[in-house]
C-alpha cells in the first residue's frame, strides 16, 4: 500500500488532472477505480456486519458437522460396547478435536455421563447441557456456560444397528474463539480489498493502454498453457471421464476410463453402440443419456459406480458427461464388514437371549436356538449328567446327556434329547472335553475317530448331508460342564478357523449362564430339601378338627413361614402358624428351630400365653448367640399365633405374638376376625402375652394364615382382609380343603411375592354320650364307687375288655388325689380316638414316677399307670392340676371322625397348587 501511494506522490498532480474529461479511456479509468473502491468498501462493511450476525451460525455449523462426523465414525459404536469406552474414545476425540478446530468433543452415555473431555478431570461427570432431544434421535444445538466458558455446542445421537440411541456426541466452540477468528479475518479482508484495488487500478490502466494499442484477445501461449493444464488434470485423476455427444458419439475418454472399460485407442469419435467391449447395461445407460447417480455396473470382473449428467443445462452443446469409479475393493471390504457385523450381532443376541432363566435345560436350549440358522444348520448340547442335578461334572466325557437339539429340519439323524452317551476318547467331543479346547472337523466323512463312536449313526449323518462340525467345551471356572456341537450341511460351506473363534466366544457366553443355573439348581435343591424337612410331612390323626392347609413358597425361594397341628391330651388340638421375616436358608433354619421349640413346649401342656413367653425367651437367646458372628441376621420380625381347641368344652384359647388375627367362619356363613391382642413380635422381651378364650359353635371354621396371603404392594392390608372375608363368607359347609383353594384363587391368582401358609380347621364337638364325669369326695372309701361307675360306663360303651386296666389306673390316680391333694377332686372319662381318664384336684403338686425298692410299701402306683397305658401326664390349670392317662381302643371299635383326605400329603408347592 505504501508503494502504491508513493507512486501517486511521484506523479505530478497536473498530469493527473490534465486528462481530458472527454477522454473515454480516462472516464473508464476513473469509473473502474471508483467502482473497485465502492465494492471494496461495501464488502468490508458487509463482512463487518455479517461477522457479528454469523458468529453463532458459524459455531453451530461447525459444531454440528464435527459432532455428526464423529458420531458416525467407524469404531465409535463398538467402543461404547466395551467395558472401558474412555480408554478408546479419549485419544480419538482429542485427535479429532485438534484436526477439526473445535474446542471440545465429548462422548457420553444416555444418562449424560462423560466418557471423554479435553479436561481429563471432567471425565465421568455429568454433561453440562440438554440431552433430552438427542435421546429422541434429534440434533440439538444450544449455548451454555460450560467448563471452558461460554460455548456453542451441538449434541448428536449415536444409533446402533436397530436405530436405538446408545450414546451421545457433543462438539462445540467457545464463542470468543469464533469471534476472534472473524476479527482476525477482518485485517485480511481489508488488505485483500486494498490489494484488489491496486491490482484492479493497475489492470485497468493496462487494459486502457492495450485498448488503445490492439484489440481485445488472448495470447497463443496463454491458450496453450490453459489447454495443457486441463489435459494434464483430465488424464491424471483416478476417476474415469467420458463425454458423449447428443448423437451418441464418444467425444472424449480419459486414460482411467480407457483402462476401466478396456476401450481401444481409436475410440474417440465412434458411436457408443459400436463398442463391443462395453457391458450391455452400461451401453444402454450411455446411449439413453438419462441421469444416473452411483449406479453399479459390471466391467469384466470390476464393479463400477457410474454417474451421468447432461451438458446442456447452462446452454452448452447437447450431450452427457460420465464419471466412473472402481468400487470392486470397496464392495469386498463392505462384504467383510457385513460379515463382521452379523457376527457381532449374533454375539449380542446371544448375550441377551442366553441365560434368561436359572434353569440348565432352558439355558442349553437357548444356546442351540441362537446358533441356528445364523451360524450353523444344526446345534446340539451335551452336558454331564451330574450337571443337570447341580453336581460337579466328571473328568471324562462319559455319562453325557443330550439336553438340547435345534436344526433347520426335524428329520435329522442326530441323537435325540435325553439320550445318555459315553463318548469314545477318539471322538472330537471327548478330546475337547478332556483338553478344554475346541475341535474343528472340516470333513466328517474322513474323521475316522468320530466314525468309531457309532458307525451306523455316523453313516446316516453323512448321508443326510451334514459335512462339517465344530465342538466347543462349555467351560466355566476352569471346569468343563459339557460340549456344544455345531453342524453344517450342504446348504453352507464348511466351518473355518475364524468361525471356530466365533463358536468359542458364543459358547463362552453361555457357559457362565449354564454354570449359574447348575449352582442355583444345587442350592435350590438343598434349600427345598431343608425346608421340606422342617415343615410337617403329614398332619397327625386327631378327631377335634377337620383340617385343610396350603403352603406356597415365594418366587425368591425358601422362607420362614410354617404351620402345625399338634394333638394334646384330653382330645384337644393345638394349631400353630408362624412367620420368620426374610427368605433363604437362614430364615428356613430359624423357622425349623422355632417349630421344634413349639413342639417341645407343647408337650408341657402350657397355656398359649405361657408358651409364647417361653418362645420369646428362646428367640432372645438365639439373637444373643448370633450377635457375635459375622453373618448375624437375628430373628427380628418373627411372629407366631398359638391356639388350643377343646372339643369337649368347645372352647378355643389363643394368644398372638405380633401375628394377624385369625378369621372365624361361623355356621351361618358370616365371617369375623377374632378380637385378639396382637402382642409384641418374638424376641423383643419385656412385654406379656395375653390369652383370649372363645366359645366356638360346632362347624365353625378357624382360619389361620401368614401375612403373605393378604399383604401386597398393590393393595392395602385392609383391602386384603376384606378380600379374605369375601372369599370365606357364605360357605359354611364347604370342606376346609375346598376353602383353602378358593381363598388362594381369590387372593393369589399368580405366584405370590411372599410365602404363604394357610390353615383352615373346622371344629367338631365330642357328643355328650362319649363323656362321663363324676365329683369325688375326699374319702378313700369313694374309690370303690368310682371303680363301679367306670365299669358300668365302659360296659355301656362296649369297652368291657378295658375294664380291668382302666379300673386299676383310676384307683391309683384317685387314691393319690385323695391322699396327697386337696378338693375339689373330679374324674372325667372321655371316649375319643383313645380312652382318656382324667383326675383333677385342687393341688399344684406334681407326682413323679420312681422305682420303688423291694421293701417299700408304696411308690408303685404311677409305675403301674405308665405300664398299663399308652401315655400319661400332668397339666396345670388355674384351679390346680389334671393327671391324665390314655388307653388305645380295640380295633373293632369305630373311631369317631375322619381325618382330612390329604392329611398324609407333604405341604409342598405341588400340593398347594392343586
Average pLDDT, integer, range 546-553: 87
Q: How far apart are CA 163 and CA 909, in angstroms?
A: 45
Q: Provide the 8-state DSSP code for 817.
A: H
Say if residues 684 and 637 touch (Cβ distance below 8 Å). Answer: no
Say if residues 153 and 169 touch (Cβ distance below 8 Å). Answer: no
Closest by CA position to 813, among listed 885, 716, 719, 888 = 885
Average pLDDT, integer, range 655-666: 93
Q: Which positions ≥6 away from 851 have C-beta within 8 Å?
A: 859, 863
**b/e burial code for range 369-383 (CB count within 10 A of at least 16 → b):** ebbbeebbbbbbbbb
Instruction: Tell me: pLDDT of 750 over 90.
Output: no
Say if residues 548 and 736 touch (Cβ distance below 8 Å). Answer: yes
Q: How far apart are CA 116 and CA 126, in angstroms?
A: 11
DSSP 360-415: HHHHHHHHHHHHTTTT-SEEEEEEEHHHHTTPPPPSSS-SEEEEEEEES-S---SP
Average pLDDT, integer, range 273-283: 81
Taking the CA atoms of 339, 342, 346 and 352 in sequence, report the sign of the dihedral they define. Answer: positive
Closest by CA position to 884, among listed 782, 773, 770 = 773
Q: How far apart are CA 532 and CA 559, in angstroms?
A: 11
Say if residues 577 and 547 touch (Cβ distance below 8 Å). Answer: no
Of residues 31 and 900, more confidently modeled = 31
Closest by CA position to 368, among listed 385, 353, 356 = 353
Residue-level pLDDT at 493: 85
Average pLDDT, integer, range 581-599: 82
Of residues 64 and 847, more confidently modeled = 64
User: Tens digit of pLDDT for each residue in 116-130?
Assistant: 988 888 888 888 888
The three three-digit cell numbers of residue 728, written as one number: 370365606
Say if residues 512 and 483 touch (Cβ distance below 8 Å). Answer: no
Task: Tell me the C-alpha to C-alpha distance, in Å, between residue 462 and each of 469, 484, 497, 625, 680.
Answer: 11, 19, 22, 68, 74
Of residues 11 and 201, more confidently modeled = 201
Closest by CA position to 282, among listed 301, 266, 305 = 305
Going across the sheet that includes 639-646, the strands are 559-567, 573-583, 639-646, 651-657, 692-695
Q: How far apart are CA 486 and CA 472, in angstroms?
A: 8
Instruction: Tell me: pLDDT of 834 over 80.
Output: yes
H-run or E-run covering 440: strand 439-441
Q: How far apart are CA 798 and CA 893, in angstroms?
A: 8
Say if residues 174 and 148 touch (Cβ distance below 8 Å). Answer: yes
Closest by CA position to 811, among listed 763, 749, 862 = 862
Say if residues 346 and 375 touch (Cβ distance below 8 Å). Answer: yes
**b/e burial code for range 657-684 (CB count within 10 A of at least 16 → b):** bbbbbbbbbeeeeebeebebeebbbbbe
Furthest-apart CA pair in the chain: how many Å?
Answer: 173
Residue-level pLDDT at 860: 63
Task: Enumerate the β-bridge partners of residue 140.
Answer: 155
Any idea of the CA torsion for 157, 160, 163, 166, to the nearest 10 degrees?
-50
Q: How many CB atoms lie within 10 A of CB 120?
A: 11
The three three-digit cell numbers of residue 44, written as one number: 468490508
**pLDDT tier at 17 (50, 70, 90 boundaries)?**
very low
Residue-level pLDDT at 520: 80
SS (H, E, C) 140-151: EEEEEEECCEEE
DSSP 439-485: EEES-GGG-HHHHTT-HHHHHHHHHHT--EEEEEEEEETTEEEEEEE
Highest mean pLDDT among 13-22, 92-101, 480-489: 480-489
Say if residues 241 and 253 touch (Cβ distance below 8 Å). Answer: yes
Share of the chain residues as helix, strand and coil, in percent rounded to the nearest 5 = 40, 25, 35
Task: Tell me the C-alpha to C-alpha distance, in Å, between residue 297 and each of 212, 256, 419, 553, 803.
Answer: 58, 16, 55, 68, 116
Say if residues 855 and 906 touch (Cβ distance below 8 Å). Answer: no
The three three-digit cell numbers of residue 570, written as one number: 384330653
Task: Enumerate the β-bridge partners of residue 774.
Answer: 827
Say if residues 384 and 399 touch (Cβ distance below 8 Å). Answer: yes
DSSP 708-770: GGT-BTTB-HHHHHHHHHHHHTT-TTS-HHHHHHHHHHHH-SS--SS-EEEEEEEE----GGG
Instruction: Tell me: pLDDT of 437 over 60.
Output: yes
User: Tens digit of pLDDT for each residue in 384-436?
Assistant: 988 888 888 888 888 899 999 999 888 899 999 989 989 999 899 999 998 98
Q: How far apart are CA 402 and CA 385, in angstroms?
A: 9
Q: How many CB atoms lie within 10 A of CB 353?
A: 14
Average pLDDT, the chain: 80
Any idea of the CA torsion for 483, 489, 494, 499, to the nearest 10 degrees?
-40
Q: Which positions ≥6 away from 856 have C-beta within 8 Å?
A: none
Average pLDDT, integer, range 742-754: 80
User: Tens digit of pLDDT for each residue in 151-169?
Assistant: 888 899 988 888 888 889 9
Q: How far apart are CA 441 and CA 450, in angstroms?
A: 10
610: left (phi over 0), alpha (psi -120 to 50) or beta: alpha
Say if residues 413 and 540 touch (Cβ distance below 8 Å). Answer: no
**pLDDT tier at 186 (50, 70, 90 boundaries)?**
low
Taking the CA atoms of 669, 670, 671 and 672 in sequence, report the sign of the dihedral they define. Answer: negative
What's phi and psi for 640, nearest 5 deg? -160, 145
The three three-digit cell numbers of residue 157, written as one number: 445421537
Instruction: Tell me: pLDDT of 853 over 70.
Output: no
In this structure, of 661-675, 758-772, 871-885, the range with the lowest mean pLDDT score is: 871-885
Closest by CA position to 434, among listed 395, 471, 469 = 395
Residue-level pLDDT at 25: 52
The three three-digit cell numbers of residue 388, written as one number: 443337570
The three three-digit cell numbers of residue 302, written as one number: 470390476
The three three-digit cell numbers of residue 817, written as one number: 388325689
**pLDDT tier at 693 (50, 70, 90 boundaries)?**
very high
Task: Enumerate the β-bridge partners of residue 655.
Answer: 642
Q: Which positions ≥6 away from 206 have C-beta within 8 Å?
A: none
User: Tens digit of pLDDT for each residue in 777-798?
Assistant: 888 888 888 888 888 888 888 8
Q: How far apart are CA 57 and CA 173, in angstroms?
A: 11
Instruction: Tell me: pLDDT of 632 over 60.
Output: no
User: Tens digit of pLDDT for each residue in 20-45?
Assistant: 444 445 566 677 667 767 776 776 67
Q: How far apart are CA 490 and CA 505, in angstroms?
A: 25
Q: Provide the 8-state DSSP code for 121.
A: G
Highest mean pLDDT among 230-234, 644-648, 875-879: 644-648
Q: How far apart are CA 250 and CA 274, in angstroms?
A: 10
User: Tens digit of pLDDT for each residue in 552-569?
Assistant: 876 666 677 889 999 998
Q: How far apart are CA 543 and CA 192, in angstroms?
A: 115
The three three-digit cell numbers of residue 385, written as one number: 449328567
Instruction: Tell me: pLDDT of 636 over 70.
Output: no
Instruction: Give the CB-side neighbour count of residue 266, counting CA atoms within 13 A.
Output: 1
Amino acid at each position: 500500500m505504501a508503494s502504491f501511494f508513493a507512486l501517486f506522490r511521484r506523479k505530478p498532480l497536473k498530469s493527473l488532472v490534465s486528462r481530458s474529461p472527454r477522454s473515454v479511456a480516462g472516464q473508464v479509468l476513473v469509473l473502474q477505480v471508483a467502482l473497485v473502491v465502492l465494492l471494496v468498501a461495501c464488502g468490508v462493511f458487509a463482512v463487518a456486519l455479517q461477522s457479528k450476525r454469523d458468529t453463532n451460525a458459524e459455531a453451530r455449523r461447525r459444531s454440528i458437522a464435527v459432532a455428526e462426523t464423529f458420531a458416525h465414525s467407524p469404531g465409535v459404536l463398538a467402543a461404547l460396547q466395551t467395558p472401558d469406552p474412555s480408554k478408546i474414545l479419549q485419544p480419538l476425540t482429542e485427535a479429532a478435536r485438534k484436526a477439526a478446530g473445535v474446542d471440545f468433543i465429548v462422548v457420553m452415555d444416555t444418562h449424560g455421563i462423560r466418557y471423554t473431555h479435553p479436561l481429563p478431570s471432567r471425565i465421568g461427570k455429568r454433561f453440562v447441557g440438554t440431552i433430552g432431544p438427542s435421546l429422541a434421535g434429534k440434533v440439538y444445538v444450544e449455548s451454555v456456560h460450560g467448563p471452558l466458558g461460554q460455548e456453542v455446542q451441538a449434541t448428536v445421537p449415536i444409533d446402533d444397528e436397530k436405530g436405538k440411541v446408545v450414546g451421545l456426541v457433543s462438539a462445540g466452540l467457545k464463542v470468543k474463539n469464533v469471534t476472534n477468528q472473524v476479527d482476525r479475518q477482518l485485517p485480511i479482508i481489508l488488505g485483500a480489498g486494498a490489494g484488489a484495488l491496486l491490482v484492479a487500478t493497475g489492470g485497468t490502466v493496462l487494459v486502457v493502454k492495450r485498448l488503445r494499442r490492439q484489440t481485445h484477445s488472448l495470447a497463443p501461449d496463454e491458450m496453450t498453457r490453459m489447454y495443457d493444464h486441463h489435459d494434464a488434470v483430465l488424464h491424471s485423476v483416478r476417476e474415469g471421464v467420458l463425454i458423449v455427444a447428443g448423437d451418441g458419439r464418444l467425444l472424449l475418454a480419459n486414460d482411467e476410463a480407457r483402462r476401466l472399460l478396456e476401450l481401444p485407442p481409436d475410440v474417440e469419435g465412434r458411436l457408443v453402440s459400436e463398442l463391443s467391449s462395453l457391458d450391455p447395461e452400461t451401453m444402454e445407460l450411455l446411449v439413453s443419456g438419462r441421469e444416473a447417480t452411483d449406479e453399479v455396473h459390471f466391467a469384466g470382473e470390476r464393479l463400477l459406480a457410474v454417474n451421468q449428467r447432461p451438458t446442456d443445462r447452462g446452454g452448452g452443446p447437447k450431450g452427457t458427461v460420465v464419471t466412473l469409479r472402481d468400487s470392486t475393493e470397496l464392495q469386498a471390504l463392505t462384504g467383510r464388514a457385513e460379515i463382521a457385523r452379523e457376527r457381532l450381532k449374533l454375539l449380542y443376541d446371544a448375550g441377551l437371549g442366553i441365560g434368561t432363566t436359572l434353569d440348565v435345560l432352558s439355558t442349553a436350549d437357548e444356546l442351540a436356538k441362537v446358533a441356528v440358522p445364523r451360524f450353523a444348520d444344526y446345534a446340539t448340547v451335551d452336558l454331564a449328567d451330574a450337571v443337570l442335578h447341580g453336581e460337579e461334572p466328571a473328568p471324562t466325557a462319559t455319562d453325557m446327556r443330550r439336553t438340547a437339539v435345534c436344526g433347520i429340519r426335524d428329520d435329522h439323524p442326530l441323537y435325540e434329547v435325553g439320550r445318555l452317551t459315553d463318548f469314545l476318547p477318539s471322538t472330537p467331543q471327548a478330546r475337547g472335553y478332556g483338553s478344554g479346547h475346541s475341535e474343528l472337523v472340516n470333513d466328517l466323512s474322513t474323521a475316522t475317530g468320530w466314525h468309531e463312536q457309532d458307525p451306523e449313526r455316523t453313516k446316516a449323518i453323512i448321508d443326510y448331508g451334514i459335512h462339517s462340525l465344530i465342538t466347543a467345551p462349555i467351560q466355566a471356572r476352569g471346569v468343563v460342564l459339557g460340549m456344544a456341537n455345531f453342524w453344517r450341511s450342504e446348504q453352507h460351506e464348511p466351518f473355518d478357523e475364524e468361525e471356530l473363534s466365533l463358536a468359542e466366544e458364543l459358547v463362552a457366553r453361555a457357559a457362565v449362564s449354564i454354570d449359574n443355573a447348575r449352582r442355583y439348581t444345587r442350592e435350590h435343591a438343598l434349600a427345598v430339601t431343608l425346608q421340606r424337612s422342617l415343615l410337617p410331612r403329614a398332619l397327625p390323626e386327631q378327631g377335634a378338627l377337620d383340617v385343610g392347609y396350603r403352603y406356597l413358597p415365594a418366587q425368591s425361594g425358601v422362607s420362614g413361614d410354617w404351620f402345625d397341628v399338634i394333638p394334646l391330651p384330653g382330645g384337644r388340638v393345638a394349631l400353630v402358624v408362624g412367620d420368620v421375616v426374610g427368605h433363604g436358608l437362614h430364615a428356613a433354619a430359624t423357622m425349623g428351630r422355632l417349630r421344634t421349640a413349639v413342639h417341645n413346649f407343647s408337650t408341657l401342656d402350657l397355656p398359649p400365653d405361657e408358651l409364647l413367653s417361653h418362645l420369646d425367651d428362646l428367640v432372645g437367646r438365639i439373637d444373643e448367640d448370633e450377635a457375635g458372628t459375622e453373618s448375624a441376621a437375628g430373628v427380628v420380625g418373627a411372629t407366631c399365633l398359638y391356639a388350643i381347641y377343646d372339643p369337649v368344652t368347645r372352647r378355643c384359647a389363643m394368644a398372638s405374638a405380633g401375628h394377624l388375627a385369625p378369621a372365624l367362619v361361623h355356621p351361618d356363613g358370616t365371617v369375623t376376625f377374632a378380637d385378639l391382642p396382637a402382642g409384641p413380635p418374638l424376641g423383643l422381651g419385656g412385654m406379656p402375652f395375653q390369652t383370649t378364650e372363645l366359645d366356638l359353635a360346632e362347624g365353625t371354621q378357624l382360619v389361620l394364615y401368614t401375612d403373605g396371603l393378604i399383604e401386597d404392594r398393590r393393595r392395602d392390608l385392609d383391602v386384603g382382609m376384606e378380600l379374605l372375608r369375601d372369599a370365606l363368607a357364605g360357605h359354611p359347609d364347604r370342606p376346609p380343603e375346598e376353602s383353602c383353594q378358593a381363598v388362594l384363587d381369590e387372593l393369589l391368582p399368580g405366584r405370590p411375592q411372599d410365602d404363604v401358609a394357610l390353615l383352615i380347621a373346622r371344629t367338631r364337638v365330642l357328643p355328650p354320650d362319649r363323656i362321663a364325669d363324676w365329683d369325688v369326695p375326699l374319702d378313700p372309701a369313694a374309690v370303690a364307687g368310682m371303680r363301679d361307675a367306670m365299669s358300668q360306663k365302659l360296659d355301656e360303651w362296649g369297652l368291657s375288655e378295658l375294664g380291668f386296666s382302666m379300673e386299676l389306673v383310676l384307683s391309683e390316680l384317685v387314691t393319690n388325689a385323695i391322699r396327697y391333694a386337696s378338693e375339689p377332686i373330679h374324674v372325667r372319662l372321655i371316649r375319643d380316638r383313645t380312652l382318656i381318664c382324667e383326675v383333677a384336684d385342687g393341688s399344684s403338686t406334681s407326682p413323679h414316677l420312681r422305682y420303688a425298692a423291694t421293701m417299700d410299701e408304696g411308690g408303685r402306683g404311677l409305675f403301674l399307670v405308665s405300664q398299663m397305658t399308652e401315655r400319661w401326664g400332668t397339666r396345670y390349670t388355674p384351679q390346680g392340676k389334671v393327671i391324665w392317662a390314655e388307653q388305645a381302643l380295640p380295633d373293632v371299635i369305630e373311631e369317631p371322625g375322619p381325618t382330612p383326605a390329604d392329611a398324609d400329603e407333604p405341604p409342598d408347592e405341588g400340593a398347594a397348587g392343586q
